[in-house]
Structure 1
Amino acid sequence: MPVKVPDSLPASAILRGENIFVMSETRAEAQNIRPLKLLILNLMPNKIETETQLLRLLGNSPLQVDVELLRIHNRPSKHTPCDHMNAFYRDFEQVRGNNYDGLIITGAPLGDLEFEEVAYWDEIRAIIDWSQQHATSVLFLCWAAHAAFYHLYGIKRYLREEKISGVFQHRRVHEHVPLLRGFDDEFWVPHSRYAQVSLDQLKAHGDLKVLAESDVAGAYLVVDQNNRNLFVTGHPEYTRTTLQDEYRRDLAAGLTPQVPNHYYPEDDPTRPPRASWHAHGALLFSNWLNYYVYQQTPFDLNDMAGMTPWE
């Protein structure tokens, strides 16, 4: 089954070109089916790129998914046309009264700021609090995962001596967990961030369980005790060239970034990069949609109040 998106969303044409089944609103309206309703809070500067990355993974599921896009504020975006934002994005007040099967909150390029210094920190806190009653499952990506650790559990992150950038090997900590079904014992994940949360602190917290980790990147997959919140500290949604685009952007800005680790053949940035994480990323999103959203959500979203997943 496909992911349902607005007919004119730029990601639609891109994904159809990749032979990913994307259903238009027009066709979906003719079907008598209860699709999963997902909300994506997109905090990344290039909205269209991030939309496409996430929809690519969501479209890999056999479930029909109805996606809505949410913005954190209505100020003009420097990297996305205003017409696009106004046509496809909703403000929080427009969705506050709704319930959703799932919510995804993306990362944000705010790695060196304290959370209280973020201009929209109050809005982020409000949406996280709202999500605990209005979404069956919440998937926090990268910066959003760190923000949620801090807001929900008081766990602070720390700045690394140097940015972690590249593709790193990870291992499963638990085997018989629905989210990890089909995973290899070891797998690769892209990371691109300045901050990190202590692995020991996460493991010591009684309300959290670390499912996968890396010697270099630390905790990667973490769930809360009710499996309602999933924290993903890396970027399984990245395309093959995303790290290269970031590296070249920093070079063009006069910075001296390190070559992303385990990304270019023989660490040579003049050669085409290799993607070693796409299968894992697709499986992660498929397992989340199936086991943590579809298998747990009520048929009538109005019945969500007071529901605890896995009861």
Structure 2
Amino acid sequence: MGQVIEVEGLRKSFGRRDVLHGIDFGVERGEVFGVIGPNGAGKTTTMRCLLDIIRPSAGSIRILGEDPGAAGPGLRRRIGYLPGELFLEQRITGRRLLAHYAAISGAVRPGRADELAERFNLDLDRHTRKLSKGNKQKLGLVQAFMHDPEVLILDEPTSGLDPLIQQEFRALLNEAQDNGQTVFLSSHVLSEVQQAADRVAILRDGNIVQVSTVASLREGALRQVKIAVIGVGSSELRLRLQRVPGLNLSEVHDTDLGAAAAASFEGAIQPLVQALAPLQLADLVIEEPDLEESVLNLYGKVAVGSAP
């Protein structure tokens, strides 16, 4: 498919403060790539470097095969951008503002802006100063999507949106992906990224801790497990479960019918299923993996030597 965004050794410093410490990643054509991290991790700085709003201190960036620092307006017209902090002209209607953006970003097919506004339940004839935070965010999304760019760079795109509009936004992302567009989005909310992205980069203190598919994150996330068996004592159940990789027993005890156990579990589920298959189960509860806890653990695993 080919990489649409290529970043190697990206560093950015503001005076003596290092914000990005040599990060590397690539985004494939047609992929939704999410970057998640706490506030101050470097997400917005990364995006601004991609767009040549600020210049990197070191490293290389290529978008659609071009260096954004040298490509000029031609490349920018192929990109849709929603900033994390959206500032709008106050003395203008949403419709006139979009017409201004269209003159900058390039051709917008007739009716496209109205179509997007209708999907977001946005009145384009209201003055921007009268819009709520959520409606301003909708207007920002319309301007990012309306010229059907090859690449979308979206900083905290669902900030201020109600759940129904968030759902419409995810539908729009799916359509963009089906059309071959590439999406790079950031968030500090894991649930938002896991519902939208194919792959996720975990960013902390200007370092990428891990790049993974959402499925792999789920597989490696911590689950809580409760097991009850019939006709087997606690000693035998303990011995069998201790052979399961990634399972940490917190309790094993005898019951009237057999034995029961409680454990935390991290890893692929198949070895646990195979270990339990010969037993007569009275109950088995495997909780949904706690991705939030998994990612918080990753935040603490910045590689030795990568920190400033």
The TM-score normalised by the length of structure 2 is 0.28
- Structure number with greater Rg is 2
